Structure 1
Amino acid sequence: MTAAAHRGSASRLLGAGDKGLPADAAGLTVAEFLARKPSLTDLWTPLLVIDDGALDDNIAFLAGWVAERGLELMPHGKTTMAPQLWWRQLDAGATGITVATPSQLRVAVDAGIPAVMLANQLVQPDAIRWTAAAVAAGTRVWSWVDDVAGIDAIEHALGDSAAQPLEVLVDVGRPGGRTGARSLEAAVAVARRAAASPAVRLAGVTGYEGAVAHGRDAEALASARAYVDELLAVHQALTPLYDGRDVLVSAGGSAYPDVVGAAFAAAGPTRREAPRNAPAVRGVGVGTVGGDRTRFVLRSGAYLVHDHGYYRQNSPFDGAGLRPAARGLARVVSRLDASTAIVDAGKRDFPFDEGLPEPLYAIGAAGERMPLPGGVTTKLSDQHGFVRIAGDSPLGVGDLVVFGLSHPCTMFDKWRLVPVVDTLDDPLNAIVTDLVETRF
């Protein structure tokens, strides 16, 4: 299956619940609507819109960057929850998709994704049994464990009924962090338990450096690197417990892929060095890091659309491979106060948890582009945005405001269908080329 083949929304009927689409789209299928080559200006505001060219460029950039280092990419699918986009990532070389919950795993399996990492511990009996059935039917699934209780839960749910063991990765954390075994000794204890269990297969180690480091200053970068070294040390200590088949070492969100990629590349196919200060654990020998059976996997997900806020500030690839692919569009519905314009987009339309939308420019009734010097979004309510502007700005009721958005992970969940256009350089002449269906 390919992205072109997986057009699950092509036959979907459009209706009044698909916000942003014009009224005359109701009753059409997605394919019929797109066949009309609708203009972006045919759509109603508020809107979330994706630039197809930027999307392609971002996908190609990270795929190439990972491949050059002999690494793999299983991008986090929770960012978009859009199988159409997941398949574009797979077609570009991603070896799987990462999800966060059993429900998201169901979406991935339903979409035919062949390899899925569940970045969480399976604990609900029904979800465990469903996952085992999906594995037996041919989907490869890795889940995380950070406690022997997680392995107990799998054993109790499956009993002797599992057709094959579930593959698990030992989640490595830090005291006071999120999930993850809190020490090397604790991680080894979980791994020993997994290696001895008939219900699971010990398949590697994993973790998330973004839970222990924040920002791009020297201290944050050092903390992220130290964490990856700890992860590699756990992997090295577990080598004698592996069964000779492939194992995964996985980390790497969208803020520190350079840090993780450098450490993985040094430990992986080209240079098989041990991590710095790798300790030994009594009763477990120290093996080499890397080897033909070890697959080093990054999970960056937000790179797909990048942004104008959080990742513009924190990604090492901003302006050097990645560019924002998403915009928010809203119209001015009130300007009763000289220094404030009220637009028709709010918390139910645009992300706001890692920075408010940034007004980039406006387009007037005659199609003229208007700069918005000093324009700032000061507040979002449910359905309205408050934009501070210069008192003498010509911005008026009905004018279109184009926003840069921050944090892709809370961008797509507000939309059932997201329009994709051929360009966002010229919104007035942009053509809608696709509607991406989300499955939140």
Structure 2
Amino acid sequence: MTQSQGSTSTAQPMHPALAGLETPCIVIDAAVMDANIAQAAQMAQQAGVKLRPHAKTHKMPLIAKKQIEAGASGITVAKVSEAEIMADGGIDDIFIAYPLIAESKIRRAIGVSKRIANLIVGVDSEEGARLLSRVAISEGHSLQVRLEIDTGLRRTGVPYEEALELAQYIHSLDSIQLTGIYTFRGALLDGKSTKDIEAAGKAEGLMMVELAERIREAGVPVQDVSVGSSPTGAFAATVPGVTEIRPGTYVFQDRMLVEFGTCALEQCAAYVLATVVTSRPEEGHAVIDGGSKTFATDVQPNTNPLQLRGFGHVLEAPDALLERLSEEHGILRTAPGTSLAPGDRVRVIPNHICSTINLHNHVYLLEEDRVRQLDVAARGMLE
């Protein structure tokens, strides 16, 4: 592959150990990942809050263990099946940050709770709380629960203004113990997406701390105030009264976080390794062997607040635009003078690494001079 002066990349040369990998595949640079893990742990320690990373990003017990060894108090998951995989992998402190509303899932969660040191589950309605209580009583087991609060994302969570009443109701039920409140708001401020992640994080933290204080004044002794995404977590952590942050993407970083300004491209530990299969440089056109079955499409280009161009950043040709994806094809619009020849390999940092990881059965961990295959153990665990 040759590059014009207008398409100069500052990326490190591709490691020779990647030469034997078939593409498309995901490669994780272990040294970069470890640095990300250490940096987040240090940030949380300095802020005096617990770090409970969301494992949805990597879905691998091995990496969850690395996060805990670096100082994380436990992990967060979204689904009971993910909790089961993590427990099987030796993780013994898990928060299922999702309202459980099916009796079968509650019984499975109780099964996990009985075999690990600490399990917490989410709840956001009277119906869910009653079911949790009834099933816990029938199992002769007590469950720790956290009340999810909707702080503006309008996803799951009890409306903010109704949270106090629901907290009091949950507190009255048997066999469930309300230990805290939690929310996920992300980069949202005054009801709109924003790039002002400092203001967004601090506003989220203040809202939740004020609510926790009102709940305690009403006689419900909640302890944990859990907030924060990868863009906003460091700022939410500075709010007195916040006890925990739950970032996920930071472990690998991705193009979204680069655009938010929370990391540099060099801190992106995971990328898609792809091969150019077709090239017509005179037309500014090249095709790689990864499409929508390789790259997640949930973060669309040209949308607020980030206005990302294309579906990923091509390290070997930073002026190229990954403008279209079909199932097995990624179509690049290349800059004048840039030549991507068939057989050339490129590394692409995706817009969103979390949902990209979930498309792959395994990844390759680059450790110094060797590459190790890791199964994405909780891939596709949706129930």
Question: What TM-score do you get using the length of structure 2 for normalisation?
Answer: 0.84
- Do residues 253 (structure 1) and 192 (structure 2) align? no
- Equivalence map 1:407-422=2 (5 Å): 407-422=352-367
Answer whether contact 1:100 1:120 (CA < 8 A) is retained.
Answer: yes
Shift in Å, 1:103: 1.7
Matched with 1:335 is 279
Please tell me the residue identity of whatever aligns with 1:342: V
Please tell me the residue identity of whatever aligns with 1:262: T
State how far apart, in whole Å, the 1-side matches of 2:143 and 2:87 are.
15
State how far apart, in whole Å, the 2-side matches of 1:223 and 1:392 are.
42
Matched with 2:344 is 399
Please tell me the residue identity of whatever aligns with 2:122: W
Shift in Å, 1:382: 0.7
Answer whether contact 1:79 1:408 (CA < 8 A) is retained.
Answer: yes
- Do residues 203 (structure 1) and 188 (structure 2) align? no
Q: How many corresponding residue pairs? A: 350
- Equivalence map 1:284-363=2 (5 Å): 296-307=243-254, 309-315=255-261, 317-319=262-264, 323-336=267-280, 338=282, 339-354=284-299, 355=301, 356-361=311-316
State how far apart, in whole Å, the 2-side matches of 1:66 and 1:228 are.
14
Answer whether contact 1:146 1:180 (CA < 8 A) is retained.
Answer: yes
Answer whether contact 1:340 1:389 (CA < 8 A) is retained.
Answer: yes
Q: 1:389 to 1:176 in 2, by over 3 A?
A: closer
Answer whether contact 1:172 1:205 (CA < 8 A) is retained.
Answer: yes
- Do residues 267 (structure 1) and 241 (structure 2) align? yes
Structure 2 unaligned blocks of 5 or more: 1-15, 302-310
Question: What TM-score do you get using the length of structure 1 for normalisation?
Answer: 0.74
- What's the secondary structure of 2:340's corresponding residue? coil
Shift in Å, 1:436: 4.6
Q: 1:241 to 1:260 in 2, by over 3 A?
A: same
Matched with 2:333 is 388
State how far apart, in whole Å, the 1-side matches of 2:198 and 2:46 are.
22
Please tell me the residue identity of whatever aligns with 2:278: S
Matched with 1:279 is none
- Which of 320, 324, 349 pairs up with 1:375? 320
State how far apart, in whole Å, the 1-side matches of 2:318 and 2:205 are.
42
Answer whether contact 1:84 1:436 (CA < 8 A) is retained.
Answer: no
State which structure, 1 or 2, has the greater radius of gyration over its C-alpha atoms. 1
Shift in Å, 1:226: 2.8
Answer whether contact 1:58 1:303 (CA < 8 A) is retained.
Answer: yes
Structure 1 unaligned blocks of 5 or more: 1-37, 269-295, 362-371, 424-429
- What's the secondary structure of 1:150's corresponding residue? helix
Answer whether contact 1:350 1:411 (CA < 8 A) is retained.
Answer: yes
Answer whether contact 2:95 2:119 (CA < 8 A) is retained.
Answer: yes
- Which of 168, 171, 181 pairs up with 2:145? 168
1:100-128 CA distances to partner (integer Å, 9 max, x unpaired)?
11222222222221111111111110111
State how far apart, in whole Å, the 1-side matches of 2:156 and 2:339 are.
51
State how far apart, in whole Å, the 2-side matches of 1:312 and 1:183 are.
31
Shift in Å, 1:51: 0.5
Matched with 1:233 is 210
1:345-373 CA distances to partner (integer Å, 9 max, x unpaired)?
11111233325022221xxxxxxxxxx36
Shift in Å, 1:174: 4.0
- Do residues 216 (structure 1) and 195 (structure 2) align? yes
Matched with 1:11 is none
Q: 1:130 to 1:257 in 2, by over 3 A?
A: same
Answer whether contact 1:344 1:384 (CA < 8 A) is retained.
Answer: yes
State how far apart, in whole Å, the 2-side matches of 1:241 and 1:84 are.
42
Shift in Å, 1:83: 0.9
Q: 1:357 to 1:190 in 2, by over 3 A?
A: same
State how far apart, in whole Å, the 1-side matches of 2:350 and 2:115 are.
40
State how far apart, in whole Å, the 2-side matches of 1:175 and 1:353 are.
20
Answer whether contact 1:136 1:163 (CA < 8 A) is retained.
Answer: no
Answer whether contact 1:420 1:436 (CA < 8 A) is retained.
Answer: no
1:251-302 CA distances to partner (integer Å, 9 max, x unpaired)?
1111101221111xx236xxxxxxxxxxxxxxxxxxxxxxxxxxx1110010
Matched with 1:10 is none
Q: Note the aligned Cα RMSD (angstroms).
A: 2.4
Matched with 1:31 is none
Q: Which moved more, 1:377-386 or 1:350-359?
A: 350-359
Shift in Å, 1:387: 1.0
Matched with 1:188 is 164
